[in-house]
């Protein structure tokens, strides 16, 4: 049996809100985080500096605070549980790659039984977030690089790779997939993908 991979963006794809914005609400910085992110999605801001700025709002926040915040509402997109159930039953390897912080992604990895997660790792002081800067990233294309490493390791052909995102910043990661999807796309991503999904992400199942 050929191995099959499904690549997922996180914010706006698996979840309907940007969860880094949600977590920044712990320190009263949700709106500041949202405005920075909006400019990134519209390509008004580029590079890793905007992501660093948003993560650094969280200095002094603990992993326990993050878990408590997310436990109040999972923010999952409609149909995501059904989609992951289908993928698991059909032996897909699932990969979640995001600029969001690893403690957030771990929460959803456990919730959805995701095989691989790749996120941003801020410096920690025990369980408290310290800070992050550009030198902490392996490259500006770390989302792409992380997925490519797994694909190469597992030797999966592009025709057996599926991927989904929601904004133009997901374009490079999706270039690894032979089957490209977008959910409620922004920034022109719809011009790059094969199929656009509206709201209920389980609609993808009929195209697999």
pLDDT tens, position by position, 82-118: 999 999 999 999 999 998 888 899 999 999 999 999 9
pLDDT tens, position by position, 160-176: 999 999 988 899 999 99
Question: Residue 134's pLDDT is what?
Answer: 81
The span from the CA of 28 to the CA of 155, in Å, is: 45
Mean pLDDT of the chain: 92
The whole-model pTM stands at: 0.89
Question: Residue 144's pLDDT is what?
Answer: 92
The span from the CA of 100 to the CA of 129, in Å, is: 13
Domain residues for the domain of 164 are: 4-207
Share of the chain above pLDDT 90, in %: 70
∠50-130-55 over CA atoms, to 5°? 20
Domain count, the chain: 1
Domain CATH code at residue 107: 3.40.50.1000
């Amino acid at each position: 049996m050929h191995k099959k991979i499904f690549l997922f963006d996180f914010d706006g794809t698996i979840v309907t809100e940007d969860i880094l914005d949600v977590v920044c609400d712990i320190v009263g910085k949700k709106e500041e985080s949202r405005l920075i992110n909006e400019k990134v999605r519209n390509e008004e801001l580029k590079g890793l500096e905007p992501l660093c700025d948003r993560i650094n709002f969280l200095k002094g926040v603990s992993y326990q605070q993050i878990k408590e915040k997310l436990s109040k509402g999972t923010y999952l997109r409609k149909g995501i549980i059904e989609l992951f159930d289908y993928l698991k039953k059909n032996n897909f390897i699932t990969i979640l790659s995001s600029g969001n912080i690893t403690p957030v992604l771990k929460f959803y990895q456990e919730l959805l039984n995701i095989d691989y997660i790749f996120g941003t790792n801020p410096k920690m002081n025990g369980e408290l977030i310290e800070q992050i800067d550009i030198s902490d990233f392996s490259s500006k294309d770390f989302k792409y690089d992380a997925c490519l490493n797994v694909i190469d390791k597992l030797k999966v052909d592009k025709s057996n790779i599926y991927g989904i995102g929601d904004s133009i910043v997901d374009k490079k990661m999706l270039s690894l997939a032979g089957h490209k999807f977008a959910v409620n796309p922004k920034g022109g991503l719809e011009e790059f993908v094969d199929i656009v999904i509206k709201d209920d992400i389980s609609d993808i199942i009929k195209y697999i």
